[in-house]
């Protein structure tokens, strides 16, 4: 972790263009989501835009180098856990609702999460076996 | 505390600086502790950090609103982090493309199963509509879930708490559950973690296996899309 953190710090100035591109994609996504009233969330649209930009770059005769955007993205994704702390601390303001419906919410959350995990993984593995592309991914690098 | 100390505290406790610092320190401490415990599923860094920060708020009698003025800078980054998922998705595009059929089927089945089971159980316990509307997007990443809950007539703040609890439950249970189901395909395991437990499940998946983390990120993004469309339909059908 320390190695990664050091790399991120050393590369911080070079990541500014990448960070700007990520924000630009989100901005475009939010503008379209709010402008059209689509139910699609702005950041998800932004992710699709960034993916299209990266795929489009591959099609160029000489693709542009992308270390700035990949560095910024890897840096933020390496610390994904941090981003959920503020929302989690919000639990202090909702203790009354949690106490009132505590048992029901606990049963609903635990059962639905286990069901969601199991159904997703079993359907994924089952369909993968059906279409004959089972097993571990090859280009894991 | 002397008067001078007290006025210094009153000043500092109202600045975003203090609570932003507390959030980062709680994360650093929680991450070290989680690493020292060998990344045991129960030693989830988010759970530990939330307990530390919430304990600090309770001990100092600080309202959440004051805390959030500092912490909002971290919370804001959930949006850019969602956009950033395009990078691992692009890096593994060939692997992802090969798994497009299993992903599509698992996405629909898993998203419906998680949402329906939560709402049916909550309804059986007689919960009011505002709680049901806040519960419907519980598997979706926090920022998007708050938007969905708000548009359904739920409480966005309650939705955020239910989302975090769901993520913590998923991150703690995914490894033992997948082992019990004897599933060794890390694409399937990761995809399930991201779908049912959004960013917290994705963070857990990245700790376990890089390929699992990539598929978790895809599931997180796709489920935010699908749930935004499914939640109003499912909720209307149940009420």
Predicted confidence at residue A133, as pLDDT, reads 52
Assess contact for B161 and A87: CB atoms under 8 A: yes
**CB-CB contact of A80 with B81 (8 Å):** yes
Computed on alpha carbons and rounded to an integer, the radius of gyration of chain B in Å comes to 19
Are B46 and B31 in contact by the 8 Å Cβ rule? The answer is no
Q: What is the mean pLDDT of residues B158-185?
A: 94
Q: Are A112 and B165 in contact (CB under 8 A)?
A: no
How far apart are alpha carbons B25 and A138 in whole angstroms?
39
pLDDT for residue A118 is more than 90: yes
**Residues of chain A contacting residue B197, judged by C-beta atoms under 8 Å apart:** 113, 117
C-alpha–C-alpha distance, residues A5 and A11, integer Å: 10
**DSSP secondary-structure letter at B20?**
H
User: What pLDDT is stored for residue A39 in this prediction?
Assistant: 65
CA distance A83 to chain B (A): 5
Q: Both ends of chain B: CA-CA distance in Å?
A: 55
Please state the ipTM of this predicted complex: 0.84
pLDDT at A138: 44
pLDDT above 70 coverage of chain A, percent: 84
DSSP state of A82: G
Got the DSSP string for A36-71? HT-SS-HHHHHHHHHHHHHHHHHHSSSPPP-HHHHH
Task: Kindly provide the b/e burial profile for residues B131-147, where b requires at least 16 CB atoms within 10 angstroms of the residue's own CB.
Answer: bbbbbbbbbbbbbbbbb
**What's the rounded mean pLDDT across residues B34-48?**
86
Q: Residue B34 and residue B45: Cα distance in Å, rounded?
A: 6
pLDDT over threshold 90, residue A137: no
Per mean pLDDT, which range of B92-96, B170-174, B189-193 is the poorest?
A: B92-96
Interface test with A, best of B65, B86, B104 (most A CBs within 10 A): B86
B69 close to A (CB below 8 A): no
Q: Name which of B79, B190, B200 to mutate to probe chain A: the one with the most chain A Cβ atoms within 10 A of its Cβ.
A: B79
Sole residue written with tokens 């698992």: B106
Residue A6 pLDDT = 60
Give the tens place of pLDDT for each residue, B71-88: 999 999 988 998 998 998
| Segment A136-140 mean pLDDT | 43
Q: pLDDT grade, residue B1 (50/70/90)?
A: low
pLDDT tens digits along B44-66: 888 899 999 999 999 999 999 99
Q: Which of A51-60, A97-106, A129-138, B147-156 has the lowest mean pLDDT?
A: A129-138
Model pLDDT for residues B100-139, shown as the tens digit of each residue:
999 999 999 999 999 999 999 999 999 999 999 999 999 9
Per-domain boundaries in chain B: 3-76, 81-238
Mean pLDDT of A61-75: 92
Give the Å distances, CA to CA, from B166 to B1, B135, B200: 41, 10, 9
Q: Give A111: exposed, middle or buried? Use CB within 10 Å, 0-12, 13-18, 19+.
A: middle
Say what the pLDDT of residue A10 is.
Answer: 66
Per the CB < 8 A criterion, the answer to whether A45 and A32 are in contact is yes
Q: What is the dihedral of CA B217, B218, B223, B225, to 10 degrees?
A: 110
Could you tell me the pLDDT band of residue A49, with boundaries at 50, 70 and 90?
very high
User: Is B138's Cβ below 8 Å from some Cβ in A?
Assistant: yes
Query: Over the stretch B221-232, which tens digit does the pLDDT of each residue have?
Result: 889 888 988 998
CA distance B129 to B239: 8
- Is the model's pLDDT at A8 over the cut of 50? yes
């Amino acid at each position: 972790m320390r190695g990664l953190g050091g790399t991120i710090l050393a590369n911080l100035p070079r990541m500014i263009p990448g960070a700007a591109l990520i924000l630009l994609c989100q901005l475009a996504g939010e503008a379209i989501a709010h402008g059209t009233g689509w139910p699609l969330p702005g950041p998800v649209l932004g992710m699709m835009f960034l993916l299209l930009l990266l795929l489009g770059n591959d099609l160029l005769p000489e693709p542009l180098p992308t270390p700035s955007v990949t560095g910024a993205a890897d840096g933020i994704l390496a610390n994904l856990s941090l981003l959920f702390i503020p929302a989690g601390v919000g639990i202090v303001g909702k203790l009354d609702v949690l106490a009132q419906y505590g048992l029901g919410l606990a049963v609903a959350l635990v059962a639905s999460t286990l069901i969601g995990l199991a159904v997703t993984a079993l359907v994924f593995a089952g369909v993968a076996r059906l279409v004959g592309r089972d097993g571990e991914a090859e280009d894991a690098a | 505390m002397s008067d001078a100390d007290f006025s210094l505290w009153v000043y500092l406790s109202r600045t975003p600086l203090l609570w932003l610092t507390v959030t980062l320190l709680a994360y650093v401490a929680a991450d070290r502790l989680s690493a020292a415990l060998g990344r045991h599923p129960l030693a989830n860094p988010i759970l530990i950090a939330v307990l530390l920060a919430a304990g600090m708020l309770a001990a100092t009698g600080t309202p959440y609103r004051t805390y959030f003025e500092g912490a909002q800078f971290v919370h804001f980054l959930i949006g850019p982090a969602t956009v950033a998922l395009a990078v691992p998705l692009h890096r593994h595009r060939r692997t992802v493309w090969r798994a497009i059929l299993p992903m599509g089927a698992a996405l629909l089945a898993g998203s419906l199963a998680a949402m329906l089971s939560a709402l049916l159980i909550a309804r059986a316990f007689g919960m009011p509509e505002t709680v049901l509307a806040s519960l419907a997007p519980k598997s979706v990443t926090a920022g998007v879930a708050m938007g969905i809950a708000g548009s359904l007539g739920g409480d966005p703040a309650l939705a955020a708490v239910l989302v975090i609890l769901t993520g913590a439950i998923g991150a703690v249970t995914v490894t033992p559950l997948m082992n019990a189901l004897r599933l060794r395909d890390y694409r399937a395991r990761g995809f399930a973690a991201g779908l049912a437990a959004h960013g917290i499940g994705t963070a857990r998946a990245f700790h376990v296996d890089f390929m699992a983390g990539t598929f978790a990120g895809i599931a997180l993004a796709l489920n935010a899309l699908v749930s935004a469309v499914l939640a109003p339909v499912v909720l209307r059908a149940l009420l």
